[in-house]
Structure 1
Amino acid sequence: MELFNIFKGKQQNRRTDTRELEGMKRSEQRDVVPVKKMLKNSSPNEAGLYPHEVLLLSYAPTYYIDQKSYPTFWWSRYGVKNIDKLLKSLKKQGFLKVGSIESAISNETTENLEEVLYAKDLKVFGGKSDHVQRLMEELSAAQLDSLFPRRTYELTDLGKKVLAANGHIPYIHHHSILHLDIWSLDEKVKDNPGYAYRDIIWEYMNKKSLKYYKHSEFGKYRNCRFKMAEFLEEEGKDDSAFIYLAEVIRIDLSGVSNGFSMDYLETYAAAYFPYTKSRATVASHITEKIKAYQLKNALTDDALRTKLITPMNRLQLPFSIFTTEEAADIVVKEIRGEREGLKRLYHKAQERFDNDYGLA
């Protein structure tokens, strides 16, 4: 009887879990905004295409003509369900065509191509492009058709032209920048003809960061400045990116965040000290960026400290656990892996904090 009750209980839990999962799925379905609704606040480009259609052009060369399933982001992020129908529509409008045998081969993995080369007693060396070229040169059209029967879509000249003119759409799809998406950025680009989309994104981020700073939303300000640093890195502007990273470090080591208030310093202190438990530290990926910059520019530790302190001093904060000199020293010690030195530095800051704010 007891075993039966246990089994019954487990079965009931399974049913509950199933209902919960179904409920979660229904909730996710409700959260998705169908593309038809998004189109009400969007306008087509000069070619008559909407943002999601342009994005599909960028993915089309990786999709097979007979493909039946597609990545879930088309629905979860853009509310698009019938990708196959949309691809056929783009083909009918002249933006896509059935791909060549070369595009079909190029869509295969390097591993698959190497297996074919081995099987046909052909040389296997070089990269993927070399494999494709060798197969095209050494095998007949009939052999290639037999080995690679599936065809992908391919951009027509018109499709290439449209995609080249709307590079902001695949860019923002692949990069998470604040609240921008393919719809909102596309409208901003249309509202600012003649401006490069990267300049538009930069202006957007800069305005956002200044707004966050003005309203003392330091966590949001920090995250925005980090995005700006990454944006500059993409453009090869490492010196400028370094300045923004220095700001990020300054905030991370200050102890301030969104909604910061001096009234709760005693509560915050538990998250400040000691070093081994502190949340006021430099993120490892940022340490690696600074380390790479130091190596690239052959900076001594002292030179790195000086270079960090200058932009740190320009950022005014209502409170900071560490001085800018200490913050720069922490970065150097993190790069060097000097944990004992870091512990001492945090202990020194804790003693000062306790004395200054009567918490000793």
Structure 2
Amino acid sequence: MQWTAALLAAAALAPGVNSAATLRFSCAQLVVDRLDPLVNPGMIPSPHLHQVVGGNAFNVTMDHELHDQATTATCTSCMPTEDFSNYWTAVLFFRARNGTYKRVNTMGNGLGYTASNGGQTVYYLSSGKVTAFRPGFRMTVGNPAFRTEAQARQNPSLQFTCLDSPMTRTGYRYDFPTTPCKAGIMVTVRFPTCWDGKNVDSPDHQSHVAYPNGNSCPASHPVAIPQVFYETYWDTRPFNDQSLWPEDGSQPFVWSFGDPTGYGNHGDYMFGWKGDALQRAMDANCQSDLFSDNVNCPTLKLQSIPDTNKCTLPRRVHEDIDGWLKELPGASMQNMS
């Protein structure tokens, strides 16, 4: 199956030979807001809009020495009830021919999670023994300033797929699809799988982690960690009428930070699993079903997708993000290069 081949290719990015764990689950939309406690801590509003899933302890400031999602959150929008981590990406917008913008909604993954109120599918993959993250661990991947394919290829695990159906797992690309996508656009974000073993963060939020060299972690980052992997389904179907697209036929989508190319694709992660729950799941080599909502991991406590939909946060920044907008939220704070 194309899906299986693609998933095994993703798992192969982690050190080792044989895939040991494929933990896959749905996280419903927690909030869409202009906050970024990792890159812009304490700033309200942050320069651009994000879509966030996970524990409801997400806040404008989340100092890793003081803030532990596992003890401060009261619910999670993810299926494992012990996962209060936060996972977030930028937000996709449609730019109409008349220059106005409309926010694109996320939707549940068509391979088992259609009941989810948007959000994204989260994976934890391993190839052999891995060490789960420590409390306070956080990281980013990608660079919102990238505008060329050469730059984007520095992070080969951040890609787009034009979905002909929910099953589509071919035609990966680094920029936005240039033709209408029948079943929406899937955006994948895969994080590094090697850690320096010391720091739960770094000034750039990336230097403490690295991708492996082949099947081995580099000496500078010797500890194998689970690969965190997001799939986000963006419901671009309402915008498939090309009479609304730019007159020159160019693609009409833009990230919330002003990127019309897609090359600035990036993701943020803050670990928030309770106790040893993630380590247990990795040690148990959990293998979630790929075509249903069955997480298939007896060591974890799970909730239904309808229950994940109940965990939400009110927006802190009160601005119009749902109508037809003359400019992107936070445009005046952004470098629109």
TM-score strictly above 0.5: no
Larger Rg: 1
Higher strand share: 2
Q: Using CA pairs below 8 Å that are at least 6 residues apart, which structure has the higher relative contact order?
A: 2
Name the TM-score, length of structure 2 as normaliser. Answer: 0.21
Name the TM-score, length of structure 1 as normaliser. Answer: 0.20
